Chain A
Amino acid sequence: MDKTINQKAWFLVLPVFLVVAFSAVLPLMTVVNYSMQDTFGNNQFFWNGVGWFKELLDPSTDLGGRFLASLGRNLFFSLVILAIEVPLGIVVALSMPRQGWTVAACLVILALPLLIPWNVVGTIWQIFGRPDIGLLGYTLNAMGIEYNYVSNDIDAWVTVIVMDVWHWTSLVALLCYAGLKSIPEAYYQAAQIDGASRWAVFKAIQLPKMNRVLLIAVLLRFMDSFMIYTEPFVVTGGGPGNSTTFVSIELVKIALGQFDLGKAAALSLVYNLIILIVCWVFYTVMTNAGVERKAQAEEEPAAERKPAGALQPAPAPALKPKEGVA
């Protein structure tokens, strides 16, 4: 409240601003400009006002129907993969060894899927899931489970979700592992003295200490899954029908397939707005969670030191006596 902020240092970012203006701001302005116009090719544009936005937000029109349906699919996809990847990532991180050569081995194995480019992941799963030559597809069909992601909507969804979980759970696990490694041993010792159960330790120490990295993981995974394009495009091509057509796939279809620059620009602006809002909310929550925790950490030792004096050993502030004992 009483801290004055001097903003003059912002002038130092002027060179970066010029580069960003050329590579990002001007193109974005062009998109806004296109969203108000219609083109029939040959670089001829006609003023259309907010016509495309009207169409985009009206589910009864072709554009609106396609946009809202793909947005719904995208949100559902993001929710499903978050619901799977976050708990799974935590479980994997908790199961990982803390010392010895196995740590390095686990980290390398976990990092492998993250190093594979998106289109290669798509190609791997596209072939892996094929009923004729793919190991997964062939095995499932041989077991009597009918599986064909090319013709069945649910199979296509399951494939895309499992592929994303395979590709990105490692990221959540690695972030959680980093969070777990930062917990001082004293916390566990205090829990042991209190006779805390495994679940109590997780609930009172590990989860609260991980919540910052978990927020980062949720943010990263949400953003990434919300803009997913390559993997479903390679595996299902957005099909069967439109069942796995996400917003980005729809956007590319409109912009490059149909060359409807106005419609695509309007769609991408609304898409961008949603991402911007979500980013801001996550960023604000994360920053404030960090500030609150810092303030809390500063208050706690000060409060503890007052009655006990400076000779006392450092206390374990997170687990109070009896708290969290099952």
Chain B
Amino acid sequence: MESIAWMAWTLPTAIFFIALACTLAVMTWLAAVYPEAERVGVLRIPTTRGDRLFVSLIAAAVIHLLWIAFLGTDAIATLPIGEDGFEISSLWLASGISLVTAVLIFRTV
């Protein structure tokens, strides 16, 4: 780990990228094992699973940025962990909305 210390990696960003890599790995595996057909959804464009994942990720980024811009990141709850408690940012709501959006995109687009 010493050799990459200069890159200043942090646990949250590492988790984010590991999750992203896992998603891509699952998508690759799905594509190899269950080849799929393009389909036309509400956007009236032919999309594959990969297209829908891309749109979902972009939508998630936009939702989070809009949330930060208009609603902020105030704490909505405090978990009783540690001495001062662990604050949960309202940004997690945006993450929830992003997940729901992703499900909708995968089902309808």
Interface size class of B (residues with CB under 8 A): 20 to 34
B101 at the interface (CB under 8 A from A): no
Distance in angstroms from B34 CB to nearest chain A CB is 10
A40 at the interface (CB under 8 A from B): no
With beta carbons under 8 angstroms apart, the residue of B9, B12, B32 that contacts A8 is B32
With beta carbons under 8 angstroms apart, the residue of A2, A45, A284, A291 that contacts B37 is A2
Q: Which residues of A contact B79 (CB under 8 A)?
A: none
Contact residues of B between 1 and 54, Cβ < 8 Å to A? 6-10, 12-13, 16-17, 28, 31-32, 35-40, 45-46, 48, 54
User: Which one of A51-59, A98-106, A228-236 contacts B?
Assistant: A51-59
B8→A273 contact, CB < 8 A: no
A4 at the interface (CB under 8 A from B): yes
Known: A5-B37, A7-B31, A7-B32. Contact between A33 and B10, CB under 8 A? yes
Q: Once the chains are docked, how many angstroms separate the CA of A32 from the CA of B28?
A: 24
B36→A50 contact, CB < 8 A: no
With beta carbons under 8 angstroms apart, the residue of B13, B40, B61, B68 that contacts A54 is B68
Q: Which residues of A contact B72 (CB under 8 A)?
A: 54
Contact residues of A between 8 and 43, Cβ < 8 Å to B? 8, 10-11, 29-30, 32-34, 36-37, 39, 43
Query: Which of A's residues lie within 8 Å of B, judged by CB?
Result: 1-8, 10-11, 29-30, 32-34, 36-37, 39, 43, 45, 47, 49-50, 53-54, 57-58, 270, 273, 276-277, 280, 284, 288, 291
The 4 closest A-B pairs by CB, nearest first: A7-B31, A57-B69, A45-B8, A33-B13
Query: Which of B's residues lie within 8 Å of A, judged by CB?
Result: 6-10, 12-13, 16-17, 28, 31-32, 35-40, 45-46, 48, 54-55, 58, 61-62, 65, 68-69, 72-73, 91
